[in-house]
Amino acid sequence: MNGLTFDIAHMLAGSLVVASFLQLYQDRLSALINVFAVHAMVLALSVAWQAYIQDAPHLYITAVIALAFKAIIIPVALRRIVVRLGIHREIENVVGVGLAMLFGIGLVALSMVVMLRVTAEADPLAREDLAFALSVVLLGLLLMVTRRNAVSQVIGFMSLENGLVLAAAGAKGMPLVVEISVAFSVLIAFIVIGIFLFRIRERFDTVDIQAMDRFRGERR
């Protein structure tokens, strides 16, 4: 393993974690969408780099899908939805920014400790990649639980999926089936979500998940 190729891979995967942190403290929706676009772009670069160093051309497809679909199409569509619903200025945070960042740091530390210890015998690149990927997954989860707005939960879910793609790309020689399926599932997920958002708007006049809690059957 050449020192420089390793360093670049390492840097790109690390940037993805940083982008995840950037998402955590965005309190305006349009800003959050922008950061998600950056997140997806970093992912595309990272996957493309993996394709280059692993000499695995099929990974380029995954990279292109990530770039075109997640970095361009989805952010544009989301921005339109947000503007149409008139919530692009909305500010929402369930727990404070500081607390969320602290939690995030804790999760990254946790995933480093777990993954690096467990994969002591694997090759160093896959190791680091996996540890970063788990951090991104956990940060995505954190974003989902700290937000009330349906759009930001969706973004949390998609950045979680970005972490999965990073892990799949880092696992050397992983069959094509999975990459395509991941990209594909994101597509379906987005369609589903799109439908939901519009339906939710129709019924609730808000995309705030808390408004939905009132309609629960059990507790009143």
Which spans of this chain sit near another protein (rule: CB under 8 A)?
114-115, 117-122, 126, 130, 133-134, 137, 141, 144, 150, 153, 157, 160-161, 164, 167-168, 171-175, 177-178, 181-182, 185, 188-189, 192-193, 196, 199-200, 203-204, 209, 212-213, 215-218
Measured from the CB atom, is 3 or 215 closer to another protein? Answer: 215
- Shortest reach from residue 107's CB to another protein, in Å: 14
- Shortest reach from residue 167's CB to another protein, in Å: 5
CA 88 to chain centre: 20
- The angle, 0 to 180 degrees and rounded to 10, between the axes of the packed helices 150-170 and 3-24 is 170
- Shortest reach from residue 189's CB to another protein, in Å: 7
* Terminal Cα-to-Cα distance of the chain (whole angstroms): 61
- Are 176 and 58 within 8 A, CB to CB? yes
- Shortest reach from residue 67's CB to another protein, in Å: 21
Q: How far apart are CA 88 and CA 114, in angstroms?
A: 38
- Shortest reach from residue 195's CB to another protein, in Å: 8
Measured from the CB atom, is 4 or 19 closer to another protein? Answer: 19
Measured from the CB atom, is 79 or 172 closer to another protein? Answer: 172
Measured from the CB atom, is 4 or 188 closer to another protein? Answer: 188
- Are 36 and 147 within 8 A, CB to CB? no
Measured from the CB atom, is 93 or 119 closer to another protein? Answer: 119
Provide the residue type at 55 as one letter: D
Q: How far apart are CA 167 and CA 136, in angstroms?
A: 10
Measured from the CB atom, is 98 or 173 closer to another protein? Answer: 173
- Are 167 and 135 within 8 A, CB to CB? no
Q: How far apart are CA 189 and CA 183, in angstroms?
A: 10
Tokens of 46: 């990272």
- Shortest reach from residue 48's CB to another protein, in Å: 19
